Amino acid sequence: MKKYIYKISLLACFMALVSCDKDLEDINVNPNKPLEVPTGGLFNKSNKDLMTNTRGGFPSGRMALPWVQYSAQRNYTDEDLYLFRTGVNNSLYTDIFLAAKGYKEIIDIVTNPNNQVKVKTYGHPGNMLAASRIMLVYSQLQALEIYGDIPYYSYGSDDPDFEAMTIGTPEAKRTPKFAPQDKIFKDMLKELKEASESIELDSGIFNQGDFLFGNAGKMKKFANSLRLKIANRVKGVIPEAQEHIADAIKSGVMSSNDDSVGLKFQNDKVNPAPLYRAAFIDNRNDFAPTNTFVELLKGEEKMVGKKNPFKGIVDPRLFKMVAPKTNITKDENNKDIETAVSFRASKTVGSIEQGNYVDRTADFYVGMPIGILGSFTGSQTGSVSQFGSAVYKADKVEVLMEYAEVEFILSEVNGWNDTNYKNGIKASMLSWGITQTEVDEYLKDVPSANEENVMTQKYIALYMQPYEAWSEYRRTKFPKTFLLPGETRDLAAPGPNGETQYTFVPKVDLKDLPERITYPSDMDLVNKANKDAAAQRMGGDKMDTKLIWAKK
């Protein structure tokens, strides 16, 4: 009772301080928690959450990046050996679908007949709907190609197998079915086609909050390019994919780097890019470029039985993607001295955080051994490079899809066309800040297009887009430069007991890269029956169960 009287007294005092004509409703409004979120705000939040939660230190740095051998861990290597953390998997699955739910919420707002006057103040209703349909495909595609069969939502289909995201509707399904992959891919192609065709090019999209597209023309090219990507991936198992490939190209795909779509983060410590946060806010120096990737860029062949299709050619992207082991600085007598490149900002030597080191010759770039035991890391880190400063920029652009990838896809669908192939290389290099002169010199030396060359260059261009690179490896088994389970290669420095070599022995029984991630353990608590049915349909909830397009 005393507690209750005390609260009443406080309320009375507060009301006495406000003017007599101030409504109680106004008093209770929290200015920091608006009652209504405009669609542009929902769009921006969903985009930011999706990219942050799929490109961060755990889901990317400790899972996908080492699996496709862009990155090796400098401390704990269980994930490099395919033993991922259950909690990270649970979060990854949940975060993808929470972002997708945000896009669906925009659809619900835009299509509600009671909201039409208000909706027009947020932007162009038809184009906002198209943007949400496109991003629903993009977000759910992430989950589809990680797990296989998933619960799926479609705006334009009433297929009874599509039961995801119905909570809050009259037909809510708290334990939705997991839809088969072939059905989902077919619907995604249909959704992207319909969304693209609905776009009004002479109108805007969101009045504010759109940091992805900016204009309807760019959004349309993204929708068509994403449809081209998906159709190309499933062309061997879904007959109508070939028609979608032709139609997407005809409808207009990305044609320059200006058409690339990515989310640029802030150059601060409030909303920085995911890897900057992992490194310089969470204060973790956990990742380094791998030996296999660095040697590919350097044009080296250091593994028995592995051929580098670009042997003898140094890729100028090496100096952007990777930092040298050491830097040249001046001593008190203005003489050059060689010092290790610092990870964090330093007043005395060049650092990754500041990006103020100097480029060196290729021999100063050495990759971290991928696939070693954690007990070996301490003997290796002092002899290897860090990621280049561009990878850790606070205002880094996290790419959803870029023009270079489109050109590599066009090379493939055009019978490994050489012009498209070289256009892809050029676009990737220019996006990394390589000069036109350096690009021209490289293209003079690079071998002509064939399947291996195109797919290996595509792998390089997808650097820091690890889930996409993983999908392409599972589909094609390129590049051929990976260190696979059971294979042996040299260490960067003597091991803890003087070892000079190591063998990649994963902690999960796999002979190649994982084919998928097993369903989150949370599914056993909330939707076990449908999860088990999906697993049985696919061939088992295992890391070597192939998706429908992974036939090699």
Task: Give the pLDDT mean for 253-271.
Answer: 97
Q: What is the model's pLDDT at position 21?
A: 42
- Secondary structure string (H, E, C) spanning 471-500: HHHHHHCCCCCCCCCCCEEECCCCCCCCCC
Task: Give the pLDDT mean for 61-78.
Answer: 97
CA distance 415 to 410: 9
Q: Which ranges constitute the DSSP H helices of 2-124?
A: 2-17, 24-27, 39-55, 65-67, 86-111, 116-119
28 — pLDDT class (breaks 50, 70, 90): low
Q: What is the model's pLDDT at position 168?
A: 83
Q: What is the model's pLDDT at position 35?
A: 54
Residue recorded with tokens 């955080």: 353
Asked whether the beta carbons of 161 and 177 are under 8 A apart, the reply is: yes
- Mean pLDDT, all residues of the chain: 93
Closest listed residue to residue 265, CA positions, set 281, 280, 276: 276
What one-letter code names the amino acid at 93?
Y
Where is pLDDT greater, at 105 or 34? 105
Q: For residue range 340-372, what is the model confidence (pLDDT) as tens digits?
A: 999 999 988 999 999 999 999 999 999 999 999
Q: What is the model's pLDDT at position 20?
A: 41
Instruction: Give percent of the chain above pLDDT 70.
Output: 93
171 — pLDDT class (breaks 50, 70, 90): confident
- Asked if residue 14 has pLDDT above 80, the reply is no
2 — pLDDT class (breaks 50, 70, 90): very low
Asked whether the beta carbons of 294 and 361 are under 8 A apart, the reply is: no
Largest CA distance in the chain: 86
Token readout for 99 is: 């972002």
Task: Give the pLDDT mean for 25-48.
Answer: 75
Q: What CA–CA distances, in Å, run from 79 to 85, 147, 155, 188, 424?
A: 8, 17, 36, 31, 31
Where is pLDDT greater, at 231 or 7? 231
Radius of gyration (C-alpha) of the chain in whole angstroms = 26
Q: What is the model's pLDDT at position 32?
A: 57
* pTM for the model: 0.93
DSSP character string of 133-180: HHHHHHHHHHHHHHHSSB----SS---TT--TT-TTSTT--SS---B-
**Which class in CATH covers the domain with range 274-323+355-510?**
mainly alpha
Can you give the residue ranges of every domain in the chain?
39-65+72-258, 274-323+355-510
DSSP character string of 433-468: T--HHHHHHHHHHSPPP-HHHHHHHHHHHTTT-HHH
Q: What is the model's pLDDT at position 10?
A: 42
Q: What is the model's pLDDT at position 6?
A: 41
Where is pLDDT greater, at 332 or 104? 104
Asked whether the beta carbons of 417 and 449 are under 8 A apart, the reply is: yes
Q: What is the model's pLDDT at position 552?
A: 73
CA distance 516 to 543: 5
- What letter does residue 264 receive in the DSSP assignment? E
Which stretch of DSSP H or E encloses residue 534? helix 528-538
Q: Is 527 helix (H, G, I), strand (E, B) or coil?
A: coil
CA distance 135 to 219: 10
Residue recorded with tokens 């998928």: 516
- Asked if residue 12 has pLDDT above 50, the reply is no
Q: For residue range 311-327, what is the model confidence (pLDDT) as tens digits?
A: 999 999 999 999 999 99
Environment class of 248 (CB within 10 Å of its CB; exposed 0-12, middle 13-18, buried 19+): buried
Listed as own residue / partner, the contacts of 227-231 with beta carbons closer than 8 Å and 24 or more positions apart are 227/189, 227/192, 227/193, 227/196, 228/253, 228/406, 228/409, 228/413, 229/401, 229/405, 229/406, 229/409, 230/141, 230/185, 230/188, 230/189, 230/192, 231/189
What one-letter code names the amino acid at 492?
A
Task: Give the pLDDT mean for 458-479.
Answer: 98
334 — pLDDT class (breaks 50, 70, 90): confident
Token readout for 90 is: 């649970």
- Asked if residue 217 has pLDDT above 60, the reply is yes
According to CATH, what is the number of the domain 39-65+72-258?
1.25.40.390
Residue recorded with tokens 């005092």: 13
- Asked if residue 459 has pLDDT above 90, the reply is yes
- Asked if residue 536 has pLDDT above 90, the reply is yes
Q: What is the model's pLDDT at position 60?
A: 96
DSSP character string of 31-66: TTS-S---HHHHHHHHHHHHHHHHHSIIIIIIIIHH
Q: What is the model's pLDDT at position 425?
A: 99
Task: Give the pLDDT mean for 233-246.
Answer: 97
- Asked if residue 409 has pLDDT above 90, the reply is yes
Task: Give the pLDDT mean for 396-424.
Answer: 98
Q: What is the model's pLDDT at position 24?
A: 38
Q: What CA–CA distances, in Å, run from 549 to 145, 230, 411, 413, 510?
A: 10, 10, 19, 16, 19
Closest listed residue to residue 218, CA positions, set 130, 155, 142, 141: 130
Task: Give the pLDDT mean for 294-313.
Answer: 96
332 — pLDDT class (breaks 50, 70, 90): confident
- Asked if residue 31 has pLDDT above 80, the reply is no
CA distance 56 to 333: 43
Q: What share of the chain is helix, strand, coil (3-state, %, to 5)?
A: 50, 5, 45
CA distance 226 to 248: 9
- Asked if residue 25 has pLDDT above 70, the reply is no
- What letter does residue 262 receive in the DSSP assignment? E
